[in-house]
Amino acid sequence: MTCKFTNTCTIHNKNLTLFDELSDEEKKLVEENTLTVSYKKGETICKQGSFASNVMHIKEGLAKVYLESETNNLILKIAPKNSLIGMPSIYEGNNTAVYSVATYTESVVDLIDMKVFQQLLKTNAKFAFRALNIMNENIIQIYGRFFCISNKQLHGRIADILLCLKNRVYKSNTYEFAFSRSELAELTNMSTESVIRVMKNFKDDGLILQKDKTLEILNAEMLSKISNLG
């Protein structure tokens, strides 16, 4: 039996229906205990090890979820619009954030009070079931991402990210490329020099066209073959 993971930067970007399971009274409770904050590119939304006071809903923008160490960061996933992050911090006896979150672009984030979110998980079974589904989808995505990083060659990793942005984040062949070379290197677990070389190869081969901050996918079929073959 074979298992194939592709395009694993983020789970499929679909409408967040979690809060549809709440009653009008519960929705009002959430609204009264939610703070909406605008963040600039590169700002930290949540710091690993800090007090976990909120569950975060990305209303607009793009962010990264990552683990920090003294030497480098490990990117767990990209969080596009409609992502819900911070739920792994909700377990018995924990009161700290288990990862950091920072913006790739200007973003708008709803900060939902953690205690209110926990209360709804305990009292609304349908809400809790939807939340569990979201967490499981994220876990599967992270498994797939690490599989690809550990098994794919350099060209396959870059192709994987470019297609993920095309298919799951921007849903367009042409999109704003919000990543610096160092950020793309961090995301793909590659050196900056390797990223520059692979991106140049893709451009010279007619697979992509990059101008200023815009990237266009010219040959998605070939990028998909590169991603699948690794």
Average pLDDT, the chain: 88
Any domain includes 187: yes
pLDDT of residue 28: 96
pLDDT of residue 41: 93
Same domain, 93 and 192: no
Q: pLDDT tier at 2 (50, 70, 90 boundaries)? A: very low
Same domain, 25 and 115: yes
Q: Which two tokens stand for residue 105?
A: 């672009």
Q: pLDDT tier at 1 (50, 70, 90 boundaries)? A: very low
Contacts of residue 221, Cβ cutoff 8 Å, sequence gap at least 6: none
Digit-coded pLDDT (tens) for 210-224: 888 899 999 999 999
Same domain, 28 and 132: yes
Residue 187 belongs to domain with CATH number: 1.10.10.10
Domain that holds residue 103: 18-148
Indicate the range of 14-18, 83-87, 176-180 predicted with least confidence: 14-18
Same domain, 143 and 176: no
Same domain, 176 and 110: no
pTM recorded for the entire structure: 0.83
Same domain, 136 and 25: yes
Mean pLDDT of 15-33: 90
Same domain, 159 and 137: no
Cα–Cα distances in angstroms (integers) from residue 227 to residues 14, 126, 205, in the given order: 23, 37, 15
User: How far does Cα 170 stand from its chain's mean position?
Assistant: 13
Element (H, E) at 119: helix 114-123
